[in-house]
Structures are given as C-alpha cells and as structure tokens.
Amino acid sequence: MSAVADAGTAAGLTVPRRVLARGSGARTVLAPVVFGLVFLGLWQLLVTALDVDPFLVPAPSAIGAEFLDNAGSVLAGSLTTGANALIGLLVGTVIGVLAAVVASLWRTADALAAPLVAALSVMPIVALAPVLYTMYGAGVETSRQLVAALAVLIPVYVNTLRGLRQVRPVHRDLMRAYAATPRQQQLAVTLPTAAPYLFTGLRIASSLAVISALVAEYFGGPVGGLGGSITDAASRSNYPLAWAYVLGSILLGLVFYCAALAVESWSSRHRPS
C-alpha cells in the first residue's frame, strides 16, 4: 500500500503545479481585474466627493469619455510611437545579444565593454534626444528609434551575458565526452540555458522601449506620437484628453509586454515546467 502511495506521490511531483492548482488561471486574471475596478471606483469617488480640479487629477469617467471620443487620434499616436519603439526594441535586442555572445566567448571584449555598459546604465539616455535631433534632423524618427534602442541594449546585454555564463562545467564536459562540436555545444547547452535570462531582459526592455520612445517625443521632432499629443493637450489645459493619451501609452506598453511574454511562452512550450 505504501509503495502505491509513494508511486502516486512521485508521479504527482512530475505534474506542473499550475495543472494541480484548479482555478489558478482564473484567479490570476480575476485578481488584477477586481483590483483595477476597485481602484477606479475609489478614484472616481474621491475626485467627485472632494471636488478635485481636473488639472490636478481628472475623474476616470472624464478620461474614459475623452479616450472614446478621440480613439482614432489615440490609435494613430500609438501606431507612431509603437513603430519607433518596435524598431528600437529589435535593433537594441539584436545588438545586445550579439555583444553578449562575443563577450562570453572573448574575455577581453567583456573587460572592454564593462566600463561602457556601466556608463550607459547611469546615463539618462532620453537626454540624448536633443543631441540626436541635431545630428539626424528633427524631421525624421531616427533619433527616437536610437533612444529606444539604447534603452533596450543594456538590460538585454546584461541578462543574456549572465545566461550564457550559467552553463555548468559538468554539462560542457559531457558534451566534450560525446565529441560534440563547439556549434553543437552552443545549440544544445549554452543557448537553451541562456534563453530564460534573455527573455527576462526582453520583458524589461519591451516596456523601456515604449517609455523611451514616448519621452523622446517631448523634445521635438515629427508630430503625431503619443508624447507630442500629451504635451499639446496639456498646453491647451485639456487635462482629461492628456490623460486619455496617457491611457493609450499604458495600453501600448501592455501590448509590448504581453507580446514579449507570448514569445517567451511560445519558445518554451516544450520545456518542462
């Protein structure tokens, strides 16, 4: 009898926890929805009861009304800012991954890159936007894309490099014992080990790309992005509309984050939980 129980216990240990925990997926979705509704209700109640001026904090109902009335303008601004953020995300990710691979294979490159990475980590990258506008001109989107790429580069590089160094020596020795080529070692051991770290950096970078592209729009350049729309609405004292564009930027950031999470889930669908 005990042998059967032990076998059942051992079998249960191989089942992912999320499968055993019934309703965990529903709770994961329901909890933030309930919290958001309660938060918005309290916000609306406090603004109405205290008669808060719109230039301080508009009511959620006013923000929602402006968002629906200007949905086309919010969507157009989201597409402009999202395109710059996407280009910056792709460029920064590719450069960060390639630099991490080189640094993991060549210690000298790692030592040379360390001061540069430290400098970029503390540099207010968005402050480079005016300089980049002077270099490339204020009539193109290149400056905003470069700002987003620089913001993405550091988290992707640091996380990927850490992941590439997580391979245990015993695993490398095993691959050598099987006479695996360096390429086979990279594909079978190094890259799968580094993948979770890469996607962690990518999730962080996805939000940073949107924030950087958005803030870079405050320094000028072509009109049409969410950042410029927020500035224009605030300058006309239309604060509910400005907050409607802020809501659009929040939704854009969530889209980028969920896309990065979906790519991570798709790439790791065959891995054990």
List pLDDT tens digits, range 206-240: 999 999 888 888 877 677 788 888 888 888 888 89
- Taking residues 249-254, what's their average pLDDT? 93
Q: Is the pLDDT of residue 19 over 50?
A: no
Question: Given pLDDT bands bounded at 50, 70 and 90, which one contains residue 5?
Answer: very low
The token duo for 5 is: 């129980």
What pLDDT score does 30 carry?
Answer: 83
Taking each helix axis from N to C end, the angle separating 226-235 and 191-216, rounded to the nearest 10 degrees, works out to 30
What pLDDT score does 3 carry?
Answer: 43
What pLDDT score does 218 carry?
Answer: 82
Q: Which of 89, 52, 109 is nearest to 240 (CA)?
A: 52
At 114-142, the pLDDT tens digits run 888 888 777 777 778 778 877 877 777 88
Query: Using an 8 Å Cβ cutoff, are 147 and 217 in contact?
Result: no
Work out the percent of the chain whose per-residue pLDDT is above 70.
Answer: 79
Lowest mean pLDDT among 147-161, 189-203, 239-253: 189-203
The token duo for 145 is: 């894309």
Q: Does 23 or 41 have the greater pLDDT score?
A: 41
Q: How many CA atoms lie within 13 A of 256 on its CB side?
A: 30
Question: Given pLDDT bands bounded at 50, 70 and 90, which one contains residue 29?
Answer: confident
Query: Using an 8 Å Cβ cutoff, are 88 and 149 in contact?
Result: yes
Q: Which of 46, 82, 74 is nearest to 245 (CA)?
A: 74
Q: Is the pLDDT of residue 15 over 50?
A: no
Q: Does 153 or 106 have the greater pLDDT score?
A: 153
Provide the 10 A C-beta neighbour count for residue 97.
21
Query: Using an 8 Å Cβ cutoff, are 267 and 203 in contact?
Result: no
What single-letter DSSP state applies at residue 166? Answer: -
CA distance 13 to 11: 5
What pLDDT score does 210 carry?
Answer: 92
Helices (H), 165-238: 169-177, 182-185, 191-216, 226-235
Task: Decide: residue 226, CB within 10 A, 0-12 exposed, 13-18 middle, 19+ buried.
Answer: buried
Tracing tokens 């030592």 back to the chain, one arrives at 111
The average confidence (pLDDT) of the chain is: 80
At 36-70, the pLDDT tens digits run 888 888 988 988 888 888 778 888 888 889 999 98
The model carries a pTM of 0.78
